[in-house]
Structure 1
Amino acid sequence: MLRPSSLRTARQPLFYHGHLVGWVAADIATHIPQEEDDAALQKGVHIAGQYRLTEIGEILSQKQLFRCFNELFDVFTPGGHVLGQIDRGALPLLGMAARGVHMNGIVMRDNQCFLWVGHRAADKRLDPGKLDHLAAGGVPAGLSPFDTMIKEAAEEAGIPASLSRQAQQVGLLNYVQNRPEGLRRDTLYCYDLLLPEDFTPRPVDGEVTRFELMKLETVLELVRDTDKFKFNVNLVLIDFFIRHGLFTPHEAREIGAVLYQDIRFEPSTA
């Protein structure tokens, strides 16, 4: 569980129809249509109720405050009720929670564990050229995490649904991190997929340029000693190492503190 109070100090709580939905910087708040002053309102920024969240995203995009993905994500109440949708690119700008999926592609060969690792394309918005999972992506409006995992596996790595449906959900990870695009407040649904030795993933949609099969020990060294992996992939891999007895939770927290100095990370397996 994460307690990102230190990350929120420079931001104000953001409300929509009375529900806390995000944390917004003061300079961004000035561009948001707000409810008129009301003594009954909690302290913070209150989005004017006559606006749909999609319209708020359009207003902020027109002001060039973020780059549109043209993909809508759900915005939730703290209790998990969907309040509306907003462009994916606006979520970190407004400190809104998002959901994502990450798949560990596992191959067992001669009693050794290998992982398929993707090399991100050089033109990616986030962490171009970094190493990545076999498949990963945000959960768009209207899709479940499992269905998103099936979709991403096919789109990114050419994995047929008959194979990706064998993946097992192994945990949930929550993290909060300051990034150039804003405040990331993400829940990652983690999946393990055991792949046949003769299966080779192939780039399909341009997210990655190629896939490389790496020994688990090599992946561990890259996570421990370098910054070659995409920023949040490290968290999922650390959780994988814990589950396979390569890290203790204490060691994982120490490494997480080095890799992510502005977050508090505690792995959480299902």
Structure 2
Amino acid sequence: MSNKSFSRTLEPFLRHIAACNSAVLPGGRTPFFCADSQIGWVSPSTVQALETLGVRAGQKFGVSAGADLFPLSHTLCEMGLYASHHEAFDVRDDSGTVLGQVDRGAIPVLGLAAEGVHLNGLVERADGLFLWVARRSMSKRLDPGKLDHLVAGGMSAGLDPQTTVIKEAQEEAGIPAELAAKAQAVGRIHYALERPEGLRRDVLHCYDLLLPEGFVPVAEDGEVESFHLLPIREVMVLIRDTDDFKFNVNLVLIDLFIRRSLFDPADAAILRRALSGQAA
């Protein structure tokens, strides 16, 4: 493939992947521990706040036990480092063991890993493959008004990905549990980037769900302004030419385009390596 061809066909997609992998670690950050497990990366400003609280685990910044994590997150909220989401998220070590919980808003402040789900709501029609797209409410705390998946959400404390999909599908799009349970797990995407709210180190559990042609989503929880059923190639053009979608949705949709053979094999291989964090 020539450089000219590479730039013309793939650069618009690769830029979305690069944008979600912009964080350099440690990049001036300090490791944050729970007992002997490093679980996060904290910025200099957060280090200052932790120093005033005397938050150390031995000679390291952190807590001595998982039970201390949620109280710490509450204190950081009271200090004005973030606004509470009033939702607890599990904190895991590298093996996936749950160590404790924090308020969801504290996750980027402490540079913790977080998990969520993204569901491609697909409709196969005689005239091609279509995708349900949601427009986020203008009242959303993050990325108001951006385009989004039909269903997407963080994994609250005590839940697993499948349970989260079923829960979010009902709340966000009115999808009955028996239909949402048919969603197929198709992969995971990791990334790390700087955002206004802090360091995002996310793991996205990706799902596909084939929906009946007659299904029409209903916003149950007020987080979605509207739903739109679009041809998959129209969605591909939006990803290529705009920043209309919420930042991480781009990655999940690029993965969908690869799996649906919308790129030629050589381009698909390059994009697949980029999504997995390997050099293109």
**How high is the TM-score relative to the length of structure 1?**
0.88
Q: Note the residue ranges of structure 2 that are not aligned, 5 or more in a row.
A: 1-19
Deviation (angstroms), 1:45: 2.0
Q: Is the 8 A contact 2:66 2:101 kept in 1?
A: no
Divergent runs of 4+, >3 A: 2-5, 33-38, 48-51, 248-257
Structure 1 Cα separation of the partners of residues 80 and 252 of structure 2:
32
Structure 1 Cα separation of the partners of residues 55 and 94 of structure 2:
21
Residue 10 (structure 2) aligns with? none
| 1:25 pairs with one of 43, 58, 70 | 43
Q: Note the residue ranges of structure 1 that are not aligned, 5 or more in a row.
A: 258-263
Q: SS of the residue aligned with 2:234?
A: helix
Deviations 1:58-86 (A, max 9, x none): 11000010011110000111121111000
Q: Is the 8 A contact 1:239 1:267 kept in 2?
A: no
**How high is the TM-score relative to the length of structure 2?**
0.85
Q: Which amino acid aligns with 1:208?
A: V
| 2:32 pairs with one of 14, 20, 23 | 14
Deviation (angstroms), 1:4: 7.4
Q: Which amino acid aligns with 1:149?
A: V
**Identity of paired residues, percent?**
49
Q: Which amino acid aligns with 1:19?
A: S
Higher percent of residues as helix: 2
Structure 2 Cα separation of the partners of residues 37 and 142 of structure 1:
26
Residue 75 (structure 2) aligns with? 59
Residue 244 (structure 1) aligns with? 260
Q: Which amino acid aligns with 2:276?
A: E
Deviation (angstroms), 1:209: 1.0
Structure 1 Cα separation of the partners of residues 102 and 155 of structure 2:
13
Residue 137 (structure 2) aligns with? 121
Assess, with a 3 A threshold, how the Cα gap between structure 1 residues 37 and 266 changes in structure 2: closer, same or farther: closer
Residue 75 (structure 1) aligns with? 91
Q: Which amino acid aligns with 1:18?
A: D
Aligned length: 257
1:29-108 equivalences under 5 Å are: 29-32=47-50, 33-34=53-54, 38=58, 41=59, 44-47=60-63, 49=65, 52-108=68-124
Residue 230 (structure 1) aligns with? 246
Q: Is the 8 A contact 1:173 1:267 kept in 2?
A: no
Structure 1 Cα separation of the partners of residues 206 and 122 of structure 2:
13
| 1:265 pairs with one of 231, 251, 275 | 275
